[in-house]
């Protein structure tokens, strides 16, 4: 099977692409409302919080171009994997200078790497996409996203995702200096999907999530978990984030309350998020502060 997946992605080298967007204030106001903040976290002229660039640069895919999972059936950085299932695995961000609300920003995206490995659920293609965000000639941010693609025929249970409830397994709350709790509901997941122009059906279509992809329920977005971790430094520390890396290891399902934790660790900030009430840690990260 590994050889089959290797053959599928051999010679796949998409060309880089550039898109330009105006960083308007509405997406920041919309996400602030999702987080129940008293007001927008960033208004005109303010620095955009790290990773909030995810609310910009939507790709206008036609309905007829969507695959059965809701993702585009074909796309520049979507590998030609049969019966493709997608998971966000993690990523990295370096901030040279913040994006400001009101800026006109050009994003240059390119394939950084593709590697086929054996995992708990079988052969998987690890795809890293690199994005550079520029204001005129100045590079402000460099972000890399790691996604995992694997073959899984419809209805087959997912290997390595053994769980039947909102959390995933057993675990204990990590040592922390700060914590943030966020209940998840179908409405929250729907609004986050809309804000990020994400049509992946695992986040809003329960029969699809359970009957086709083999999850026990709707899946909380990996990017949302990463953003909830970043709320720790944004709310509690008066220092901007200069670098951030994160790794997703286990899903959280709709209905769980997500608990994000942060603590000082050797000059950096150790971050994590998990489902309250006995869930194993779902995502870990480290932030470097200015």
Residue-wise DSSP of 24-64: -SHHHHHHHHHTT-SS-S--TTSBPPTTGGGGS------GG
pLDDT at 168: 44
Calculate what percentage of the chain has a pLDDT beyond 70. Answer: 89
Q: How many domains does the chain have?
A: 1
Instruction: Kindly give the residue spans of alpha helices, DSSP state H, lying in the chain.
Output: 2-9, 26-34, 186-195, 206-211, 222-236
The Cα–Cα gap between 7 and 124 comes to: 12
pLDDT at 6: 75
CB 65 within 8 A of CB 75: no
The Cα–Cα gap between 33 and 232 comes to: 17
> 214-269 pLDDT, tens per residue?
899 999 999 999 999 999 999 999 889 999 999 999 999 999 999 999 999 888 99
Mapped onto helix, strand or coil, the DSSP state of residue 48 is: coil
pLDDT at 274 over 90: yes
> 51-77 pLDDT, tens per residue?
999 999 998 899 999 988 898 887 777
Picking from 109, 107, 145, 152, the residue whose alpha carbon sits closest to that of residue 127 is 145
Neighbouring CB atoms inside 10 A of 160's CB total: 9
pLDDT at 2: 64
- Between the two ends of the chain, the Cα-to-Cα distance in Å is 46
- Tokens, residue 263: 């603590």
- Give pTM, 2 decimals: 0.89
Q: Specify which of 6-15, 22-31, 167-176 reaches the highest per-range mean pLDDT.
A: 22-31
Instruction: Name residues whose C-beta falls within 8 Å of residue 113's C-beta, 6 or more positions apart in sequence.
Output: 126, 127, 128
By residue range, what is the domain housing residue 237?
2-289
pLDDT at 162: 37
Look up the CATH number of the domain holding residue 202.
3.10.129.10
- Tokens, residue 112: 């950084």
Q: What is the mean pLDDT of residues 120-147?
A: 91
């Amino acid at each position: 099977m590994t050889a089959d997946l290797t053959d599928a992605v051999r010679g796949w080298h998409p060309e880089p692409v550039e898109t330009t967007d105006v960083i308007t204030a509405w997406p920041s106001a919309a996400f602030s409302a999702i987080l129940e903040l008293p007001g927008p976290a960033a208004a005109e002229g303010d620095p955009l919080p790290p990773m909030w660039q995810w609310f910009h640069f939507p790709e206008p895919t036609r309905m007829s171009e969507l695959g059965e999972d809701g993702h585009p059936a074909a796309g520049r950085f979507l590998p030609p994997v049969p019966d493709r299932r997608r998971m966000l695995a993690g990523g990295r961000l370096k901030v040279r200078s913040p994006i400001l609300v009101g800026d006109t920003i050009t994003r240059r995206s390119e394939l950084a790497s593709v590697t086929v490995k054996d995992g708990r659920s079988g052969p998987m293609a690890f795809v890293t996409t690199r994005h550079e965000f520029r204001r005129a000639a100045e590079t402000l941010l460099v972000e890399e996203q790691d996604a995992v693609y694997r073959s899984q025929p419809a209805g087959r249970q997912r290997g390595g995702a053994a769980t039947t409830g909102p959390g995933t397994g057993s675990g204990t709350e990590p040592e922390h200096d700060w914590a943030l709790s966020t209940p998840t509901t179908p409405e929250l997941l729907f609004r986050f999907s809309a804000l990020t122009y994400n049509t992946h059906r695992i986040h809003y279509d329960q029969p699809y999530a359970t009957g086709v992809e083999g999850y026990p329920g709707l899946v909380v977005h990996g990017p949302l978990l990463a953003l909830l971790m970043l709320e720790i430094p944004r709310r509690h520390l008066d220092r901007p984030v200069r670098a951030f890396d994160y790794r997703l290891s286990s899903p959280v399902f709709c209905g769980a309350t997500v608990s994000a934790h942060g603590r000082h660790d050797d000059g950096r900030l150790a971050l994590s998020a998990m489902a309250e009430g006995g869930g194993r840690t779902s995502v870990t990260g480290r932030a470097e502060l200015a």
